[in-house]
Structure 1
Amino acid sequence: MQAAQGLEYAVACLQTAERELLLFVAFWFVIGALDDIGVDVCWLWLRATGRGRDTRISRGIAEAPLEGRAAVLIAAWRESAVIGHTIAHALGAWRQQGLVLYLGCYCNDPETIAAAMEAAGDDPRVRVVVNERPGPTTKADCLNQVYAALCRDEQHYGWRYRSIVLHDSEDMVHAAELAVIDGALGQAEFVQLPVRPELQPASPWVAAHYADEFTESHAKSLVVRDALGAGLPAAGVGCGFSREIIARIAVRRGQAAGPFPAAGPFAADCLTEDYELGLLVQREGGRSRFLRVRDDEGGLVATRAYFPARLEDSIRQKSRWIHGIAFQGWDRLGWDRRLVDSWMALRDRRGPLTAIVLACGYVLVVVEGVLGLAALSGVHGGVPVSPILQWMLRACAVAFVWRCVFRFLFTAREYGFVEGVSAVMRIPVANFIAIFAGRRALVSYVRSLRGAGVIWEKTEHHEHPVFASAGAALR
């Protein structure tokens, strides 16, 4: 008898927990759904009015001469496996003589230096900059060293760059990228092009979920931000800045007087210096643009890259993004006065809350399973569900179906029908990564509040996407 009463009491406690979890999860799911649907409605309106469609570029624009000199900045730490392929591919794709690739390396990384110099050969368009401080420092610190070298070159040769383009050491660029950025910088100070993650057959769940997320983000969310005139974050790849706005941001960071200051435009103590740099453009009075352009064959002018294929690497990378964007972004950038910018900042910084809500949602699934087993064993009872909670649960179900449809459509459009279906099946994988990345980011942020230094926990790269496209033209 006592055992039966104890079991009933335990079930009653679980039912109470079930109701509270339902209330918490349903409330935030509805809020999140309204947020996402707001962006969806804006995008549908843009599509209906013809403003959200990709534009086309004319044949031969990739070979068009640049209006001014362009510097491409790349930070590399232990990238000997891929940096040579990146350099060779970029030099082959970009034929313009007004281009200089600046490769930032470290004195204690001779393998990367050797691979970069071998790939560069005698091409005068490559400049290897060696950081005298042993690596890894931070990516921003490395880029600041490269920027200082760029400033020295400008003074030495007596000319000035027109644009500064950022890329990563594993990127596969589009031949028309420089021409598109160069042309757009006539009407803007910052231009961001899409990022297209490459599928990896060996990682159909972890690596492929980046394709789902980036495709929807860079075909919808950033299109809406651009149309609304909100500040645009830089992705750190495929993004170009006018030389003047970079100089102004460097001054904003308290750059000391003199031609070769140690400081630079990149925040050395920030984990997402690219994200911050893009938003600072608007605060400096510059205009930002996100451009979706397709070449004459219909291929997207975008940066192709491999993303982490292992679960632990993906969690580490996304925790860095959450720490830098959500926690450091709040601390460093605060909030904007414009409503649209505050809305977008809330969207950017919801990662920690999303992790908590998703974790509670999966705990709720476990609780429901235990209660189901209890009911099968003859222990019944229940907590009444209020009409408001019933309404929220129905809204959550509709919102989930809506989200699945959008995820399918965007992924299928870029990667095909099969990947569109797989994108829906990968949603739990993305949620699992988000939960653990949010937890890791919180721990990292608390450590930083206690005085721990910022460390460049970069993703290791062992393969280059150029091999995946060896048998096909770059699209």
Structure 2
Amino acid sequence: MSWMVDAFATYLYGMKVIAIALAIAMLISGIDDLFIDIIYWFRRIKRAFTVYRRHKHMDYRELYKPDEKALAIMVPAWNETGVIGHMAELAATTLDYENYHIFVGTYPNDPDTQRDVDEVCVRFPNVHKVICARPGPTSKADCLNNILDAITQFERSANFTFSGFILHDAEDVISPMELRLFNYLVDRKDLIQIPVYPFERKWTHFTSMSYIDEFAELHGKDVPVREAIAGQVPSAGVGTCFSRRAIMALLADGDGIAFDVQSLTEDYDIGFRLKAKGMTEIFVRFPVIPDDYDSRKKAFLQRTRSANVICVREYFPDTFSTAVRQKSRWIIGIVFQGFKTHKWSSSLTLNYFLWRDRKGAISNFLSFTAMIVMIQLVLLLIYQRLWPDAWQFLSIFSGSQWLTTLLWLNLGLMINRIFQRVIFVTVYYGLKQGLLSILRLFWGNLINFTANWRALKQVIQHGDPRRVAWDKTTHDFPSVTGNNRALKPLGQILIEQGAINQTQLQDALIHRMPGLRLGGTLIYRQVITAQQLAAALAEQSGVSAESIDAWQIPEALIKLMPDSVALHYAVLPLRIEDGTLILASESAIDPVSLAALGRKMDKPVRYIIAPRGQVVVGLRHWYARKRQNDERSLLQKAVQRRWLSAEQAEIIWSNFVPRQLLFAEILISLGDIDMAAMNSLLLRYERSDLALGEFLVEQGVISAETLNYALELQHQLQVSMPTLLQQAGISEEQLQQLERENA
């Protein structure tokens, strides 16, 4: 038995040596963290007594002042079936912005995700599928490079450029004002990062809830201090916006390759590359406080400004193994790959934060080992106090006053660390989660410790950290609406409704008339009526069809809708039902445009499909920038003079209306501009006094020859009222008299 006692005493001595090394290392790390705390609170107090006494906090309404610039959202997608549709739907219904496009990177060997994205693209014209050149899964950086290449191709085909390029994952929930914020800053800043705040789960989900503790402190305190001291911001990989200048510089730097394909944390890497090029980076905590916020239920001690910042929300991994995989990837990318790629620089402040990034590889081991030592000492103390006739051993701290002092210092630093974390979790999530963060400390340390071992093992196995393969982490997505619904082909609907047969459909598809889509071709050839087309389009869009008379719309309702809005979206206001504005359109309105209409009209909106031409003639009558002769009035005057009967006038009008079409439809049908690009161009056109064709030529979107061809085609396809009147027997002299009276 004595030899066991001697062995245990030797073990305790070894534990004392380890405890001394741990205490010294933890003191250094603790002082480092304390320095960040002091800087943060000093700056905050100083700004409270200086800057914010002279200036009020910027109101979020300032974000609406700049015109909407075109923004591209880049989303890598590997095995993301069922997620992209939710993201697009949530973005369309919640984003307070319209001029954006989502580019989704898929892989040739992932047909399920491709099929899902195809269905989404049908419903959302601003969503574009990108197929990567190589089978997946490649690195996220490789997928982003493929997306960037597709964006540049889209820019060339659409003849316009994006001002900002935004990183997001498929499972991200984007704040409604995020794009407004990026739009406001992208002309002045080259990298813009907003906070990430994970969604809460039940308190028993310790793994995913440990993320809210880490991100609340990291994006509440550490990154703002980093930006203030070093002027450098690490991208979080989501909620990051790059200016066009930054992307072009990265493309030039990499000879056409912007993101490092061998990096597991390409976002972290880019922050340093842009900083080295002298570009400006900013971390933005911008609150948007709703007018009714005071009446909402809030968590105890949740701070209003902190809890309403524009941020990215998402669910993080909820199992131990997935969290370890994700964090080990971060460690390999930031610590091992980062050390090999980014050596120590000439800037002391930047080197200091490089040290803080890399010390995690050591501090994760230290904190976990310290916990193991502490648990053993506590168990030993319990044994000696409660076990009868227990062996009594001297404390490993006996006779070492300096070690005891060191441990007391570390205890104080640890209490400060816990206190700081509780504060930053509380201000966003409330006191309950702030206190629960104390319970999650051990579990979070265990995850980080295991992730460190896994990262170290992978680096040793591969011999080079840059050879470690991308290990994608799976996420959850919050539930929004139901399943995505792909649009049924219009021809199939017309066949099912008995309007046409298969032979007529094939003939129309093969011999489609220039400047007209399928429905227009069928109407022009008198295969179907405008009412039949409207019924088919209504079924395709999931709305109702309704014939309208634009001249019967109350003028007060017409004045409710600005000219620019009516002409941009090609809609007419019909009526208001239970507070909802009912609009008439001749084609489907995509969810992004419908949400924008609701914002611009400041009320809920829904739409019906009107037969072809009814909205067009209504727009010309009520909203046209250059008013022409009123064709309806011309026809009525002919009836009043008894040159035509009422029945003849009705027939002429029914022939005239379906043959009226918008110039934009001809351009889209010809393939000169696609629908997504046209939507972006029309946003800019709202501020122009030119005719649409002249504006497009001025912008370099189409040539003067294309404009002339499209106008000539419109003239050929449309039928004029004077022509129909002459065909009905009205003489040239009578027609001139009618036009003079109608002028």
Q: Tell me the TM-score normalized by structure 2.
A: 0.59
Structure 2 counterparts to residues 9-24 of structure 1, below 5 A: 9-24=6-21
Give the drift of 1:95: 5.2
Q: Output one character per residue of 1:377-434: Cα deviation in whole Å (capped at 9) or x when no partner.
A: 2243455442321221001111111111111111111111111110111111111111
Matched residue SS, 2:221: helix
Measure, in 2, the Cα distance between the counterparts of 1:224 and 1:465: 35
The AA in structure 2 aligned to 1:355 is: N
1:347 to 345, 356, 363: 356
Cα distance change on mapping 1:170 and 1:447 into 2, 3 Å: same
| Ranges in structure 2 where 5+ consecutive residues have no aligned partner | 291-304, 482-743
Give the drift of 1:451: 8.6
Matched-pair contact (CA < 8 Å) for 1:62–1:177:
no
Question: Is 1:418 the counterpart of 2:429 in the alignment?
Answer: no
The AA in structure 1 aligned to 2:361 is: P
Matched-pair contact (CA < 8 Å) for 2:96–2:177:
no
Give the drift of 1:12: 1.8
Match of 2:76 in 1: 75
Measure, in 1, the Cα distance between the counterparts of 2:107 and 2:64: 33
Question: Is 1:459 the counterpart of 2:473 in the alignment?
Answer: yes
1:428 to 400, 418, 442: 442
Match of 1:165 in 2: 166
Measure, in 2, the Cα distance between the counterparts of 1:392 and 1:92: 56
Cα distance change on mapping 1:68 and 1:438 into 2, 3 Å: same
Match of 1:324 in 2: 333
1:378 to 386, 391, 404: 391
Q: Output one character per residue of 1:57-85: Cα deviation in whole Å (capped at 9) or x when no partner.
A: 54556766645321110101001132211
Matched-pair contact (CA < 8 Å) for 1:193–1:291:
yes
1:31 to 28, 53, 72: 28
Measure, in 2, the Cα distance between the counterparts of 1:412 and 1:284: 38
Matched-pair contact (CA < 8 Å) for 1:319–1:441:
yes
CA RMSD across the alignment: 2.3
Cα distance change on mapping 1:134 and 1:188 into 2, 3 Å: same
Question: Is 1:362 the counterpart of 2:371 in the alignment?
Answer: yes
Matched residue SS, 1:50: helix
Measure, in 1, the Cα distance between the counterparts of 2:401 and 2:234: 41
Q: Output one character per residue of 1:226-248: Cα deviation in whole Å (capped at 9) or x when no partner.
A: 21133211001111011111111
Matched-pair contact (CA < 8 Å) for 2:68–2:97:
no
Cα distance change on mapping 1:370 and 1:195 into 2, 3 Å: closer
Give the drift of 1:168: 0.6
Cα distance change on mapping 1:429 and 1:37 into 2, 3 Å: same
Name the count of aligned residue pairs.
Answer: 456
Cα distance change on mapping 1:324 and 1:79 into 2, 3 Å: same
Measure, in 1, the Cα distance between the counterparts of 2:10 and 2:376: 11
Measure, in 1, the Cα distance between the counterparts of 2:468 and 2:4: 50
Q: Output one character per residue of 1:123-153: Cα deviation in whole Å (capped at 9) or x when no partner.
A: 3211110113211011110110001111112
Cα distance change on mapping 1:284 and 1:59 into 2, 3 Å: closer
Question: Is 1:294 the counterpart of 2:303 in the alignment?
Answer: no
Measure, in 2, the Cα distance between the counterparts of 1:119 and 1:203: 35
The AA in structure 2 aligned to 1:326 is: V
My pick for the range that moved more, 441-450 or 227-236, is 441-450
Cα distance change on mapping 1:201 and 1:407 into 2, 3 Å: same
Give the drift of 1:456: 2.1
Cα distance change on mapping 1:151 and 1:385 into 2, 3 Å: farther
Question: Is 1:284 the counterpart of 2:281 in the alignment?
Answer: no
Measure, in 2, the Cα distance between the counterparts of 1:33 and 1:381: 28
Match of 1:248 in 2: 249
Q: Between the two proteins, what is the percent identity of the paired residues? A: 28
Measure, in 1, the Cα distance between the counterparts of 2:352 and 2:466: 31
Match of 2:413 in 1: 399
Match of 1:274 in 2: 267
Higher relative contact order (CA 8 A, sep 6+): 1
Give the drift of 1:453: 3.7
Match of 2:46 in 1: 49
Matched-pair contact (CA < 8 Å) for 2:314–2:477:
no
Match of 2:133 in 1: 132
Cα distance change on mapping 1:413 and 1:465 into 2, 3 Å: farther
Matched-pair contact (CA < 8 Å) for 2:336–2:465:
no
Cα distance change on mapping 1:59 and 1:24 into 2, 3 Å: closer
The AA in structure 1 aligned to 2:441 is: I
Q: Output one character per residue of 1:318-341: Cα deviation in whole Å (capped at 9) or x when no partner.
A: 111011001100001112211111
Matched-pair contact (CA < 8 Å) for 1:78–1:112:
yes
Matched-pair contact (CA < 8 Å) for 2:73–2:103:
yes
Matched-pair contact (CA < 8 Å) for 2:196–2:239:
yes
Query: Who wins on radius of gyration, i.e. which is larger?
Result: 2
Cα distance change on mapping 1:205 and 1:268 into 2, 3 Å: same
Measure, in 2, the Cα distance between the counterparts of 1:143 and 1:203: 36
My pick for the range that moved more, 57-66 or 292-301, is 57-66
Question: Is 1:144 the counterpart of 2:145 in the alignment?
Answer: yes
Matched residue SS, 2:234: coil
